[in-house]
Structure 1
Amino acid sequence: MNIARRWLLLAAACLGVAAGPVLAQTFPNRPIKLILPFPAGSATDGTARVIAEDLRKGLGQPIVIENQAGADGNIAAMTAKRAAPDGYTLFMSTNSAHAVNKTLYANLAFDPEKDFEPVAGLISIPLTLLVRKDFPASDVASFIAVAKARSASRPLSFGSGNTSSQIAAALLQSVAGVDITHVPYRGTPQALTDLVGGQIDALLVDPFSSMGFVQNGQLKVLAVTGKVRHPLLPDVPTMGEAGYKDVQVVTWAALFAPAGTNAAIVDRLNAEVAKSLSRPETKVAIQKMAMDPMPMTPSQLRSFVHAEIQRWGRLVELAGLPKK
């Protein structure tokens, strides 16, 4: 390689290094699209809107939320993957699209690690085991007894609005040795409506989505799937306390950008998310929705996603779910 070419390559490299801080200083200069893989009205959608408002203030640009529910988050993931890696399209993904689906789908059209840049951790969420108000059980033991009694004739129907709730239900079915008929829904709101209406017998959802139904007596909470009892439901035992420690399912959401997004832009976005999650008002708003802040740096989120793919893969296999 001649000297002139060496100098050209060195100059290009220096320009690339210098471009990062400049991009971070000028970014953003137009609205940012935030793609969500769940329907409007869900608890995670509510949390996204709280954080998006903080980002709007911090970045000085509107955050346009686009709900693309369906296919366990794969539709939204593919839209985000195909977007330009310029920081103007972000993906609020969950453990479904970014961990579960790597094992659950035989031919996943995207790679959750290679096709996205980790930006920031957002929230973690346990699930609650719910039954309608007239269901003949008030705890997990009696629920399992009813399920076993009905297994031979008319199995219980268990709804799910996402893969996390489906996995939790399948785990309970496997561990308890009962037959359950799975009824899939495009999202949690529709599943809750059918549970209240008596079209299904049980459901596993985040605590906030069902709180109104529980408070007015339309639904009963039998257990939570977290490691510890939830502050909003202090009298409700964990699945571990109820004798089913393997049914421990904690879901999460995090922020990603298309692969190749400039590191300086990623760092700027991460800093704004960290500010949002540290604000007392935002913390209170998130906790009122029965979720917990889960701040992470991009490198921490990258390691977390890698570990979660392995963990949820084991849960999928333990639950015995067939490939899609």
Structure 2
Amino acid sequence: MNKTIPLIHKSAAIAQIEALKLYIKDIWPIVSDAQLPIYLNSTSAQFIPFHSLCRLLQSALKHLTAKEFIEFIHCGAKSYSQHIEGVCLSDKSKGDLGKGALGELVHYLPIQEVAFTSSSNGTVSECSLTMTLEEVEPYTFISELYVISVAHHCLTQQCPALVEPIKYHLVTHEKFGLDALKASTKAPQFLGQECTALFYRSSSLSGFSNHNQHWRRQTQTFTEQVADALESYIGRQDVSLDTFSSIVGIPPRTIQRHLDNEGTTFRKIKESLNMAFAKRVMIERNVSISDIAEHLGYSDTSQFIRAFKKSEKMTPLQWRKTNQAN
């Protein structure tokens, strides 16, 4: 299997940060330790590394009681599921029926595959939502807990009367995590399974139209994944390869090797994102060239000008005049 960088839409982090404010007065040390990008509302980037969100959740678990943590997870997950449902409704209004909220999970969660199926053994009829998550070591338990919560709330967006699942399948073997959260509900939890899954009585999903369907995420090159993961940090903090490695949980040499196999480097990807950020800011805001250079982490303005000229065959000021005129 090719190496992947698990990603999640920035709206998930925004929702979870807002939820955390309900429980902790000063959340920014936690956000900083999680290595989440700052000013997510203002960035044009759409995705962030899922490892960062998992670190935020893991840290919150240490600061909140078990009851508070479950409430915190559900609050953020419900808000995020509403965002996903909003995207689906927007697509429908444009004439694109799309896949529905469940089908969109492969785009909005670090999931490779989603399947929604019905089955019956003669006495019990049930539906299952099965998900193949991308690897997020060492946060398997916390990532499954979050994904299950988002998926359940996505279902309740379409079936408001839906009750809790009748059982869960979890890939994790971390029973102590469930014990710590006092998460042993009436619904059985089966650990060490091949996939993450939620099971419901079919009667609670009557009228649901997505039975026996399967969705798979479209594959991305490793270069595209690095660019998506890095973009939200551009113009906010200068991220080196070592820092990026720490953020996404992949050794620097592994990142370099996969990029080399695709004929590029971390530096080239970062430089391309820097130039895109600079051009967007020059058009949208009245910002000085020196301010742009500083935000992008260049040691001085002249270094940025040289890099921009090498990329665009003109200076930043020349580019700004040309494109503002157009």
TM-score range for the pair, normalised by the shorter chain length: under 0.3
TM-score, with structure 1 as normaliser: 0.27
Q: Decide which structure has greater strand share.
A: 1
